[in-house]
Structure 1
Amino acid sequence: MIQTPLVNDASLTVKDGYAILRFERDDLRNALTGTTLIDDLCSTLDWANANKAISCLIITGAGKAFSSGGNVKDMRDKQGMFGGTPAEISESYRNGIQRISRAMHSAEIVTIAAVNGAAVGAGFDLCSMSDLRIGCEHTRFGETFINLGIIPGDGGAWFLQRLVGYQRAAELTFSGRIIDSAEALSMGLLLECVAAEDLMATAERYAASYASKPPQALRLSKRLMKAAQRQELGDFLDVCADVQAQCHHTADHQRALDAFLNKTIAKFEGN
């Protein structure tokens, strides 16, 4: 049994095969800086990666906002990670907000952003780092760094253009404008847009579906999709052949075959 991580500014709910991490700092619009939310998210991802009983993590916010990203008042007052010399601020970014980028990119489990409200700046980038995004009528996105005279220091430009293409990512980055859920859906930022009261049920429906699949094959599938983004086809096919050979020797593969042929429901064990 892997102990559930301690979170301070969030709540973590564990269900059958998936978990829900909810940001609980509505007083600060769930800002990622000036709170413990960076630690809460990264420790939860580390726990989920190590816990083979977890296949999916839903990330959402309590209150009106998903996340406002960096704390603007701290920027103004040069407090926390925004204080010090340029070298010190650079180090603060590497050891602070950029931990989320690395942790999300290396997550072995499926990540779903249930975007309950505004997601701007680093909050928007966190959504872009997720595998899936489910929104509602309250969802708003904005790559708003330019409006404050800064750039996406969390690496958001790397994620966003891979999600919507260079041209759309460039327009959002250069304008800093806020888009609503309808536009986000039309450009592929959202997989679905549902009524606010249905948001979590929809996200959990996806999570439960993925949690019902063979856990090892699910994680390997995600790992291969990430690898495909950076490998040539020939190299990638070699990796696929080796991974597939391993899958054919798992007990879950046999369970899946038996269930398919016997028209039953398989109970997978991750081996």
Structure 2
Amino acid sequence: MADFLRYEQQGHIVTLTMNEPERRNPLTGNSAVDDFLAAIARIRDDRSVRAVVLTGAGAAFSTGGNIRDMERQASGAVSGLEIRQDYRNGIQRLPLALFNLEVPVIAAVNGPAMGAGLDLACMCDIRIAAEQAQFAESFVKLGIIPGDGGAWLLPRVIGLSRAAEMTFTGTPIDARQALEWNLVSRVVPAEQLLPTALDIAARIAANPPHAVRMAKRLMREGMHSRLDTLLELSAGLQALSHQTADHREAVQAFLEKRQPVFTGQ
């Protein structure tokens, strides 16, 4: 794996660590997007992976865009058409890839998640925060907009009114307010952040992986589908589920009052 993103696997769980702490783990001006896309492709193709934990090295989760890139864009040295294409070929590839990854992803937010860093957390399925974490949809403070899908992601996580407040003011919120607003599902002391995330990942990984992946797909589709459309998709995926070896094992183990052993088949 390349320099920005550290890829570690233990059993069925992959931990991805953004590893540029001296610059607070920026998502532009480095290999971040390419590293994420390579990791996502690797996870997608590795059927042994059942859950992913994403976190940041150092004091920050991610503070988003690289200010030096913004300086170049603001200088007039590149055209608006070039900047548009840079977004489409760069950071905008990340939400499509990460949001649609069928393996569940847990964001373990260890510190500030600002701008694109907040939007990165919103691309994940579950967010837990250390007590010192902060969150800001801070683009407006730099005279720009969420160019990475944040205007689609954040309202679906916390609702339109609160998303509008965060987007229009750029004001950070702390971990406790993030919990109240359902941006995160847990707030824990810093030393418990990774153990908590890994415990959730282990409980996910203990289930039949096809059922978890299909359930995530249904939840993602449900964000923009009609009920009748989702029910039709559910019927098809359920038919596949009923024919799996792991489903048969789950039923048999329940009847025999023993722990099931799932093989991913």
With the shorter chain as reference, the TM-score category is: over 0.9
1:215 is the counterpart of 2:209: yes
Q: Secondary structure at the match of 1:66?
A: coil
Cα shift readout 1:217-242 (whole Å, capped 9, x = no counterpart): 11011111111122211222122112
1:135 is the counterpart of 2:125: no
1:71 is the counterpart of 2:48: no
Contact 1:16 1:211 (C-alpha < 8 Å) held by counterparts: no
Q: CA RMSD in A?
A: 1.3
Give the fraction of aligned pairs with identical amino acids, expressed as a percent: 42
1:106 is the counterpart of 2:66: no
Distance 2:181 2:86 in 1: 33
Give the structure 2 partner of residue 43 of structure 1: 38
- Kindly provide the amino acid, as one letter, of the partner of residue 53 in structure 1: S
- Kindly provide the amino acid, as one letter, of the partner of residue 136 in structure 1: A
- Tell me the CA shift for residue 163 of structure 1: 0.6
Q: Secondary structure at the match of 2:54?
A: strand
Distance 1:235 1:128 in 2: 25
Give the structure 2 partner of residue 194 of structure 1: 188
Give the structure 2 partner of residue 243 of structure 1: 237
Q: TM-score, normalised by structure 1?
A: 0.94
1:33 is the counterpart of 2:45: no
Give the structure 1 partner of residue 111 of structure 2: 117
In the alignment, structure 2 segments of 5+ residues that lack a partner are none
- Closer, same or farther: CA 256–75 of 1 in aligned 2, 3 Å: same
Q: TM-score, normalised by structure 2?
A: 0.96
Cα shift readout 1:150-199 (whole Å, capped 9, x = no counterpart): 00000101000001111000000000001100100100011100000000
Cα shift readout 1:94-131 (whole Å, capped 9, x = no counterpart): 11111111111211110110000000000000011110
- Tell me the CA shift for residue 83 of structure 1: 5.7
Report how many residues are paired. Answer: 264
Give the structure 1 partner of residue 49 of structure 2: 54
Aligned to 2:8, which of 4, 9, 13? 13
- Tell me the CA shift for residue 73 of structure 1: 2.5
Aligned to 2:178, which of 184, 189, 195? 184
- Which piece of structure 1 moves more, 208-217 or 238-247? 238-247
- Closer, same or farther: CA 83–256 of 1 in aligned 2, 3 Å: farther
Runs of 4 or more above 4 Å deviation: none
Cα shift readout 1:33-82 (whole Å, capped 9, x = no counterpart): 11211111121111111111111111100000000100113312449xx9
Q: Secondary structure at the match of 2:156?
A: helix
